[in-house]
């Protein structure tokens, strides 16, 4: 079974803060309403578009989603 996008993103936590993927992971970790069990692109992108912040951007999501799909 494929792990959730959330669990994949958390692998970037603790890295170099200049990396947008690291900042995205830290932001997701602190988002209590993030769909943590989801593997669905539309559900996740809708959430990101709705609750975007300086570190939670659709551009970084797209990058991470591509990497996530390659891992599957």
Q: What is the pLDDT of residues 3-56, one digit of tens each?
A: 999 999 999 999 999 999 999 999 999 999 999 999 999 999 999 999 999 999
Report pLDDT digits (tens) over 54-69: 999 999 999 999 999 9
Determine if residue 33 is left, alpha or beta; phi over 0 gives left, psi from -120 to 50 gives alpha, anything else beta: alpha
Mean pLDDT over all residues of the chain? 96
pTM (2 decimals)?
0.93
Residue 11's contacts (CB-CB under 8 Å, 6 or more residues apart) are: 25
Per-residue pLDDT for 1 more than 80? no
> What stretch of H or E contains 31?
none
| pLDDT of amino acid 2 | 86
């Amino acid at each position: 079974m494929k792990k959730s996008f959330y669990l994949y993103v958390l692998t970037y936590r603790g890295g170099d803060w200049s990396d947008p993927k690291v900042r995205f992971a830290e932001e997701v970790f602190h988002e209590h309403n993030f769909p943590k069990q989801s593997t669905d692109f539309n559900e996740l992108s809708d959430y990101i578009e709705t609750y975007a912040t300086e570190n939670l951007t659709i551009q970084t999501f797209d990058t991470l989603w591509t990497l996530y799909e390659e891992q599957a």
